[in-house]
Each structure stands twice: as C-alpha cells, then as structure tokens.
Amino acid sequence: MAKSKFEYVRSFETDDTCLRNCYIVVRLDGRNFHKFAEQHNFTKPNDDRALGLMARSARSVMEDLEDIVVAYGQSDEFSFVFKRSTNWFKRRGSKLMTHVASQFSSSYVFYWKEYFGEQPLLYPPGFDGRVVLYPTNRNLKDYLSWRQADCHINNLYNTAFWTLVQKGGLSTAQAEDRLNGTLSADKNEMLFSEFNMNYNNESPLHRKGTTLIWEKVDETSTKTITLPKEGEKEVTFTRSRRKVTAHNCDIIGDLFWEEHPDILEEDS
C-alpha cells in the first residue's frame, strides 16, 4: 500500500521498550485521594470499603491483563509486577502502564456500588501511573518491602493519631503535637498503656496491606446428571483452578517467598 506523505510523523514516536530480564513494576496512586476520601465519607484512619474496592479493582487488572505475577496495595496505591520474561505489548512501558491504569480505573467505578452501596460516587476518580524496572529478585523484594514498610509507618501513625482524637478527646492539632518526635515504640506503648490496644492485634489488612498472587485452588461442585438406568444422580467433582488470592501478611521476611516459590523466577 502506498504511504501517505503524512507517514513520517510516526518517526516522532520514541522507543520505550523496557530493558530485558527486568521485572516491570507499574505503580498506581489515586489522584488527590485526600479530597476524594473526605468527599466520600471514608472512615478514618481506614475504610474497609475503600480498601476492598482497591483490591477488587487490582484483581480485575490481574485477571484481564497478561503476565502479572504479584500485586501489592495499601491506602490509595497498588503496585503490579510483570514477570521478568514478559513480552506483553513488546514490553512497551507506556502500553503496560496505561492498560493497568485504565483497567484499574474503570474497575474502580464499575465495582463501586458493590462496596459503597447507597453512597454515591460523586465524580470520576483518577489514578497516576509510573513504571520502574528491577533487575534482581533482591531489588524487587526490597521494592515491595519498601511499600509495606510505608504501609506500616503510616498505619501506626494514623492509628495513634485517630485514637487520640476519637477515644482520647484530643483536637487534631493536639494529637499532632502529642505524636511529634515519637518513635514506633512510643506509639505502641501509648496505645497499650492509655487505650488498652495492642497494635499487633489490629486488623492485618490495615497493618500489612493486600498482596495478590495466583494460586491453584481446588473447587468442588455438585451437578445433577441423568443416567439411563439409575435416573437422576448427584455427582461431586473437584477441579483445580488458577485463582487470584488475597493475603494480608508480612512480605518483608523470607517466609512468604519460601511458601510461594513460584512467584519469582530465579536470578540467572
């Protein structure tokens, strides 16, 4: 086919192929969720409906896009890890990132009602995205550890802060003053001695965030079949299916990775 004289504009496109052998991480973060949370009456410090909707949307991303082996989310963010050998969209960063962001955003709106019920969605939410490459398993685990440590630090602070306000009767300014300069141990101690709360017994969803992986799950179902001689008969059968499963556990230590050795490929 003859090319039009306009064809040359293609050459203005730049190459954004992600380096081979590296894990490709796409991290999304809610745009201005400080305001979004207020306007949609998110409970403080954690709203389980909002966290559930984030995880549901992330599952939709994993199920609908190819080659995502693990995803980790907390607050208004989710990170998606493509396997290091992926060749999806020829490893073009912009394609991967925009597919993740748009699938996530449309899912967030699509599933809103399942989580928020009568609370209406007041305006269309948006998510920014970035792509980061990690060449080794150590680097990738350290990346995920960094996000989970962020979850821990923020959640401990927010738990202490809102406990002082909601149960201790302090103003938000007083609570901020009170926590200024405190270490983790101080916050744990304050929650324990003043409010009889053991931080370690707080919800793992809030303390650890959500990790999504693919796992083989046995599914049992029963079916009624009609046999020529015996007539109607109930039969049970089990089949193994690959499913996205959610975990609210520590991913900084080795245990999680030892229990799920299939997530990462060997460094070569």
Q: Write the burial class of residue 15 (CB in 10 Å: 0-12 exposed, 13-18 middle, 19+ buried).
A: exposed
Closest contact distance (angstroms) between CB of 209 and ligand DGT is 11
Question: Which residue has tokens 């039969």?
Answer: 235
**184: amino acid identity, one letter:** S
Applying CB under 6 A, among 23, 42, 72, 82 the residue interacting with ligand DGT is: 42
Applying CB under 6 A, among 17, 32, 87, 94 the residue interacting with ligand DGT is: 32
Give the H/E segment covering residue 102: helix 93-110
Applying CB under 6 A, among 24, 25, 26, 50 the residue interacting with ligand DGT is: 50
Applying CB under 6 A, among 3, 5, 10, 34 the residue interacting with ligand DGT is: 34
44 binds, options Mg ion, ligand DGT, none, Cβ within 5 to 8 A by partner type: ligand DGT
Q: Toward ligand DGT, which CB reaches closer, 91 or 207?
A: 207
- How far apart are the C-alpha atoms of 178 and 87, rounded to whole Å? 51
Give 228's DSSP letter: T
Closest contact distance (angstroms) between CB of 132 and ligand DGT is 16
Give the H/E segment covering residue 231: strand 231-247
Q: Toward ligand DGT, which CB reaches closer, 31 or 167?
A: 31
Q: Toward ligand DGT, which CB reaches closer, 103 or 159?
A: 159
By the rule CB under 6 A, 202 interacts with ligand DGT = no
Applying CB under 6 A, among 19, 20, 21, 31 the residue interacting with ligand DGT is: 31
50 binds, options ligand DGT, Mg ion, none, Cβ within 5 to 8 A by partner type: ligand DGT
Q: Toward ligand DGT, which CB reaches closer, 78 or 256?
A: 78
By the rule CB under 6 A, 241 interacts with ligand DGT = no
Residues 55-94 that bind ligand DGT (CB under 6 A): 75-76
Closest contact distance (angstroms) between CB of 115 and ligand DGT is 12
Please enumerate, as own/partner, the contacts of 34-39 that have beta carbons within 8 Å and a separation of 24 or more. Answer: 36/76, 36/125, 37/76, 39/122, 39/123
By the rule CB under 6 A, 130 interacts with ligand DGT = no
Q: How far is CA 114 from CA 37, 74, 110, 120, in A?
A: 17, 19, 9, 11
34 binds, options Mg ion, ligand DGT, none, Cβ within 5 to 8 A by partner type: ligand DGT
Question: Does the N-terminal peptide bond of residue 120 adopt cis geometry, omega within 30 degrees of 0?
Answer: no
The token duo for 87 is 């060749």
**Where do the H-state alpha helices sit in 111-247?**
112-116, 137-166, 172-179, 184-195, 204-208
Taking a C-beta distance cutoff of 8 angstroms, is the pair 250, 145 a contact? no
46 binds, options Mg ion, ligand DGT, none, Cβ within 5 to 8 A by partner type: ligand DGT
Length of the chain: 268
Where does this chain bind ligand DGT (CB under 6 A)? 29-34, 37, 42, 44, 46-47, 50-51, 75-76
